[in-house]
Structure formats: structure tokens, C-alpha cells
Structure 1
Amino acid sequence: MTLSTPPQAPVSAAPQFPDALPSRPGPDSAPGPGTLRATPRRGGRYARLPLLAGRGFIPLGLFARLPLAMLTVGALTLVTAVTGSYAVGGLSAGAVGIGSALGAPFLGALADRRGQRPVLVFAAVFNTVAVIALILAAYLVPGGPDLAAAVPVLAAAIVAGASCPQVGPLARVRWMALTSRGGREANPADLDTALSYESTADELTFVLGPALVGILASLIAPWLPLALAAALTITFVPAFAVHPTHHAVVRTPARTAAGAARAKQLRASLSAGQRAGAFTAVALPVLAMVCMGTFFGSTQTALSSFSASFATSELAGLLYAVMGLSSAAAALSVAYWPQRFTAHARWLACAALLAGLALLLLLPSTALPMVLVLLVLGLPVGPLMVTVFAIGGLVAPAGKLGTVMTALASGIVAGTAIGSSVAGQLAQNHGYSTAFVVPVWAAAALFLLGTAAAAVLRQRNRTASAAA
């Protein structure tokens, strides 16, 4: 299966961007500075991306998503420092994830219906206020290791997570729209390249985020990372929201009575098996992202306990950054993988490798061996995320691409909540060695889901071939 732009991705009719590529020049005209050639001489496939979206899109998207990477770890670090309890800190990080899992699909559906720009601007303002409220709640509400006393902090964490702007998923929606535009000497590899970049951008921010949290919290104050996250949100997210690429994504038309009747008639014409297959095709990638988030969250929390055994818990952010670096580098390589290496084969291969390498987390007892383990462990992570997001785009129902992309992202955050909470309890009661069992099980579950997804994708391909 060749990963190409899903046909249901809503795309406008050749919008014009000031810093993006112009129309294709004629044979007698000199190419302009933004002209996209089929194969750039310098920079390879990734040199095409700024020509598709404009030079400002990539840095804006990178910095606008950084606060989300800081929020979960920042809540964990702040609440743990204030209460002195890994369990309460883990629950606070989990509350951020639960809020994001509930709010992200809603924001994605709203962006499908109302457009990305107003939704992102509103979320940026609301989330900035919510993060400030979380900081104040952590310091002003009497707390400690008592879970009942931490209820106000947990409530503020849920609201902060629910309102966090979904920059990464909505950026993927824009890339899917941009790479499917006609009259642009389209390259079938553009979407793979864009999604590889996006996963690398996610990894880079999830490297920078925990690292910034660790440095600022340990050297200055535990509240500073969240304050910086709020400042970045109110600055960069509105700028990303109004970037001209938002015009590339057409809003889903408001449902009329006639449209609702047609949709009902279409659903009735589908067999129960077809409806179940369509649901399963979307549910499997979402569940995979929940497992991926569980892997992330449990690894972060277990590393906090691990690093506290010989240094300080804030060192965990720097250790975790090592895995993110190797994951980001591996994600970039996916753009050059052969097209015959199909999506479901990539899922199975990367998940199997991750499950095997995760067992190495049980071995180190000092920092240097753990750094080596994390460096190797990150290699299958980035390619696996690229693959699952690509499959999610392929199976997304018409007009629901933003909803599915945000559901995948919220699956990661929800899984991070699960992993942080479970690993936090295990680390508190049994030590970090037991907490590292959670990422091992999460990686094994990813392989099982990949096996099921491969069967579903093969069935969809057979059905499509028969219909053709």
C-alpha cells in the first residue's frame, strides 16, 4: 500500500499564500524564488516543504506545539515538588492527559466545522488562563501527599489539558490539504515527507519540553516551566492560527435537514459489517496512540523515580530527551523508506522492535547505561508514530480528518495520563524497577494492535479492489 493523500481530505481550490509557491511557470519564464520543482537539487525531499507551505509555517508550528510538551511534565514536576508525593504528581500529569483526551477531539471537530483559525485563537487565550490557574492552585491551596487536598490542583490540571491548542494534529491536516492540491507537480512522497517532519517536530518538542522543564525547575523554580508554556501559547499559537495555510483546509459544511437525511440514508445503506469495519479502522490507530502515550508517560514517571535514586527527579527530563533525539532522527528517515515497505508492515516491524528493546529498561541502575538504553529505544518510536498517523489519515471518514487527527493526538496524551498514573503508583510503592514494567507491556500491546490493523487494512484493500 502506497501512502498517499487520503481522498477525503478537505482541500480548497488552489489558495494563494504570500510566501508559498506561485503558479507553475511557463517554458519561457524564469522560475521564481518560490517555484516548486519536482526534485529540488539541494535539500532533497524536505526542501519541498517550505515551498508547499511557506517559510514561516515550519518554525511557527514547531514553537506553537512546545507548550503541550511542557504541560504534562511541568505539572508532574511542579506538583511533586510542592506536595513531595510522586503519586500526587503522577495524578496531576494524568489529569492533564485526561483533560486533553476529552478536549482535543472536541476542538478537532470544531475546527472541521468552524475553521482552524477561530478555534486555535480561542484555545490559546483560554489555555493561558488555565495554566496560570494551575500554578496558583498548586501554591495557594493547602496540599501535601493527601489526595483529597489535591482536588483543586487536579481540577485545574484537567481544564488546562482540555483547552490545550492542538497544533500538531491540525498542522498535519494542513499538510494533507497542501500535498493534495492540483497543478503543483505533486510528488507522491510529499505526504510521507510532511508526516515524517511532523513526527520529528513532535519529538523535538518533546525533547525540548522535558529538558526545559528539568533545567528551569531545578535551577530556578518549579513553577517557571508552566509560566513559560503559557507565554509561548499566547504568543505562537495565534500566529500559527492566522498563517495563510489555514485557507487550504475547507470547513465541513453545516448540516442541513436535507444533508442529515442523506447521511442517515447513507448509514442505512451500509451493512452492519461495513459500519463495524469503518469504526474498527479508526479505533485501532487511536488505541495504538493510547498505548504509545502509555509508553511515554510511564517511561517519564519511572525515569523520575530512577533519577531520584542517585540524583534529583528533575534529571528525568534530560534522560528522557535522549530517547526523543534518536526517535526524531529515525522519524526523518521514513521519507526515504521504499514505498513497497507498506504501512502495516512498518507498524508490525517497528512495534516488534520496540517491544524487544523495552525490556532493556529493566537492566540499568546508573545513569550512563540508561542513556545508552534510551538512545537505542528511541529508534523505532518515531517511525511508528509516522506510520500510525498516516494510517489514521487514510481511514478517516470524509469531512472528519481534523477530528481523527486530534483523536490520535489525544490518544497519546490520554495514554500518557494512564502511564504516568500507573507508573507513579508503582514507583511510590515498589520502586522504579517495577514502574519500568509498564512501558514493556505498552510496547507489547502496540504489536498486538498492529497485527489487528494489518488484517483490517488488507480487508479494506480487498473490498476496494472488488468494488473497483
Structure 2
Amino acid sequence: MTPNTPSPTPSTPADEAAGAPPAGRYQAIFALAGRSFFPVAFLARLPLAMLTVGALTLITEVSGSYALGGFAAGGVGIGSAVGAPLLGYLADRIGQRPILLSTAVLNPVAIGLFLLTAALLDPAGSPVWMLIAAFAMGASCPQVGPMARVRWMAMTARRPRGREMDTALSYEGTADELTFVLGPALVGLLAAAVAPWLPLALAAVLTATMVAAFAVHPTVEYVVPSSRRPGGGRPKTARGTKQQDRTSGSARPQWLLIMLPVLGMVAMGTFFGSTQTSLTAFAGSFGVASSAGLLYAVMGLSSAAAALSVAFWPERFGSAARWLLCAGAMTVLALLLFLPADIATMLVVLFVLGIPVGPTMVSIFGIGAIVAPRELMGTVMTLLASGVVTGTALGSSVAGRLADSGGYQHAFIVPAAAAGALLLLGLVAVRAAAVRRNA
């Protein structure tokens, strides 16, 4: 920790965090990071939630094709899948601040190029330039959520044993869910009330201002890039309790373990992307396709509240068990998407379906934090985030094709299948956790 590191809070709140009620644990992390961290980090991550659905809404509106809109959203997702791990690796190497400041400039430029290509798009012509601009928009998107998690891991690494890390990850899961509520909601409101290009323009403004503010926030000093670390032994895990490698030559099993939560995030992203696109087709059947983001936001509200509740769950109920339980609930509840024939019923289904979604995401990120090498924490966190976006691209594209060919009922097959994949991966996660405990 450098001399400029923000002063940790007095030890009393943190010292009592292990036995404190959840409200006390949240007070402890607010004191640890400083209250300004929360609004800055929240607003800075909002553009990421707006880009995919914003591209989907804009291109669907100007082209009249759900498939082309899904391809645009997919271009954003593929770009993020490629760019996010690279940005995370660079942040691990040279620090978060220069990477975030660079993307705060580059991403608004890419958004502007996408808006230009959308304005010039010929639905009967080739969409190649639009897809290139969508890719650039995704590749340059600042990875605020993963980098915020890395800051929490650094801030809590030397704290007394307690549940500060779990509480921080629960908060981050809630923040992600709320941004994915407000992002689609803003897209739906602005697109319906003003113009479909306005949400992306707002995303560019937020990136240029709030990402820059997040880049220079004092909490960035907690994260020491590898280029500034002294040489020494192998780093420990984020919890500082076990060596990353039990024996030499264990790098391959380590990365195989890391791929488990990454695949989980791909399945989660597939669920998100296909649900967004399917709901766009569902709302379009009632003549209100541009308001699909508002429908999707209902699921996000219940998901966010449920993610926040993870701090209340028993500590012995580990991340793998939570993943399995909540993914099972998602699989069952996703089947309800086939039932509604009106918007009011769909709102009820989406609210219920969102309840297991937030805890599933918190659990997957928790497993990722445990298995990630500390010197590559930013890389792994961005891999998890890019897994979500990759899955969103996949889900949007497949559901868009099914919506065009068979209607929204066919498109809802994709989120149901994605939930089933999460359940299967949860079974693997429980088995892997058992093997590690017995090793």
C-alpha cells in the first residue's frame, strides 16, 4: 500500500463485522471505501448496461429487423469479450488509472462512430461498418465493475477475519443488477419518449465524466500493479489464506478451475441477452418494442434486491451451494416465460424470475475471487465480466433469429436453455468444491 493510500476506517466497525448484523457489515464497507466511491462507481458502470440494449433498440428501430438488432448487440458483446480481458491484463500490469482514463476518451469516440453508421445504415445493404463500430464500442468499454471488485479485494485483504469480502461482493452484485435495471430502463424511456439514438449519446457522456472520476478516486491506490510490486514468493489468494499453487506445475488445474465461473458467466450472459431480445419481440407483438427495456427492468429489480440479501445468508452456505440452488430455481422459473399472453402477466413472471438471478451472479463472482491468482485478479474479473457480455451476444443473436423465424415463443427457448446450463455448471461447481475440501 502506498503512502497515498486512503486511510482505512477505524478498526472498530471492521473488527466487529464478523459478528455484526448485515446492516453493520454494509456500514463497514461504506466506511472502508468512503461514501463518494459508491455513486461514482455506480454511474461509471451504467454505460456498459446501456450499450448492448441501446444498440439492439436503435438498429431494430432503424432497420425493422430483430435479427439485425441482435447482430448489433452481438457485435458489442464480442468486442467486449475481446477487449475486457486485455484491459484487465493491462490494468494488472500498469495500473487501473491510465487504462480507465484512456477508455474514458476512446469509448465515447466509438459510440459516436456507431451512431453515424446507424444513421447511414441501409437495411437492404451490408451492415459490415455498423458491426465494426459496434465491436469497437464494446472493445473500448471501461470495465468498471470488475475493477471495482479488484479494489474491494485489495481493501479487505488485510482486514480482520470477517465477512467484508462477501458483503462487498453482495453489494457489487446488487450494483451490477441495478445498473442493468436502470440501463435498459433509460434506453426504453429515452428511445420511446425522445429518439432511439439518445440513450447511446447519454452513455458516451457518462463514460467521459464518471469513468474519469472513478479512475482518479483514492481507492485506486489500494491496487498495486505488478510493475510496481517487489519480487518475492508466489502471491496468495484474495482471501490470503492459501497458496495458489499447492505443487509445482499446477497452473493448468488452476486455469481449469477459473474456466468454471467463466463458463457460468457465459451462461448467465446468454440468459440476459436472450431475455432482452425475446422481450423486445414480445413487446413488439403489442406495438411497443422500444419499451422492452422497461419490462426487462422489472426482473432486474427483484434480482438486485435478492443479490443484496446474500449478506444475510448463513456463512456455511457456500458459493457453490448457492450457485446450485439458485440456478435450479432459475431453470424452473424460466419455464414460466412461455405462459404470459399479456404484458401484465409477463411483469409478474419477470419479477419472480429475477429473485434467484442476483444470488447466482454473486455466487459465481465469489468463486472467481477465490480461485483467481492475485497478480491476475483484474484479468480474471474482466474474464468473468466478458463472459457475461459474450453470452449476451450469443443469446441476443440466437434469440433474434428465433424471434424473426418463429415469434417470441420460440425465442424464449434460449433463456430457458441458458438457465439449464447454469444448473449443470452448478453441479460441477459443487463437485469441484468438494474435491478441493478433501484435497
Mapped to 1, the partners of 2:21 and 2:56 lie a distance apart of 46
Give SS of 1:400's match.
Answer: helix
Tell me the residue number matched to 1:191.
165
Distance 1:382 1:42, change over 3 A: closer
Letter of the structure 2 residue corresponding to residue 190 of structure 1: E
- Alpha-carbon offset, residue 256 of structure 1: 11
Tell me the residue number matched to 2:248.
270
- Alpha-carbon offset, residue 126 of structure 1: 0.3
Answering whether residue 192 of structure 2 is matched by residue 218 of structure 1, we say yes
Give SS of 2:127's match.
Answer: helix
Tell me the residue number matched to 1:114.
94
Mapped to 2, the partners of 1:377 and 1:240 lie a distance apart of 32
Mapped to 2, the partners of 1:238 and 1:280 lie a distance apart of 35
Tell me the residue number matched to 1:143.
122
Gaps of 5+ in 1: 1-11, 26-34, 260-265, 464-468
Tell me the residue number matched to 2:154.
177
Give SS of 1:340's match.
Answer: coil
More deviation, 339-348/295-304:
339-348
Tell me the residue number matched to 1:129.
109
Mapped to 1, the partners of 2:171 and 2:361 lie a distance apart of 11
Q: Deviation string for 1:145-203 (max 9, x for gaps)?
A: x4x52111110000000000000000000011111124xxx351111111011010011
Answering whether residue 357 of structure 2 is matched by residue 381 of structure 1, we say yes
Tell me the residue number matched to 1:353.
329
Give SS of 2:314's match.
Answer: coil
Gaps of 5+ in 2: 234-243
Matches within 5 A, 1:147-158: 149-158=126-135
Query: 2:181, 2:301 within 8 Å by CA — same for their partners in 1?
Result: yes
Normalised to the residue count of structure 1, the TM-score between the two structures is: 0.87
Letter of the structure 2 residue corresponding to residue 206 of structure 1: F
Distance 1:321 1:47, change over 3 A: same
Letter of the structure 2 residue corresponding to residue 173 of structure 1: V
More deviation, 163-172/448-457:
448-457
Matches within 5 A, 1:9-408: 12=1, 16-17=5-6, 21-22=8-9, 24=11, 38-39=16-17, 43-140=23-120, 142-144=121-123, 146=124, 149-182=126-159, 186-253=160-227, 270-271=248-249, 274-408=250-384
Answering whether residue 432 of structure 2 is matched by residue 456 of structure 1, we say yes
CA RMSD of aligned residues (A): 2.4
Normalised to the residue count of structure 2, the TM-score between the two structures is: 0.93
- Alpha-carbon offset, residue 241 of structure 1: 0.5
Letter of the structure 2 residue corresponding to residue 279 of structure 1: W
Mapped to 2, the partners of 1:41 and 1:72 lie a distance apart of 38
Query: 2:91, 2:378 within 8 Å by CA — same for their partners in 1?
Result: yes
Query: 2:173, 2:358 within 8 Å by CA — same for their partners in 1?
Result: yes
Tell me the residue number matched to 1:8.
none
- Identity of counterpart residues, as a percentage? 57
Letter of the structure 2 residue corresponding to residue 438 of structure 1: V
- Alpha-carbon offset, residue 22 of structure 1: 4.6
Between Structure 1 and Structure 2, how many residues are aligned? Answer: 428
User: Rg larger in 1 or in 2?
Assistant: 1
- Alpha-carbon offset, residue 46 of structure 1: 1.1
More deviation, 248-257/302-311:
248-257
Distance 1:198 1:258, change over 3 A: closer
Query: 2:278, 2:411 within 8 Å by CA — same for their partners in 1?
Result: yes
Letter of the structure 1 residue corresponding to residue 149 of structure 2: R
Mapped to 1, the partners of 2:381 and 2:133 lie a distance apart of 25
Distance 1:258 1:312, change over 3 A: same
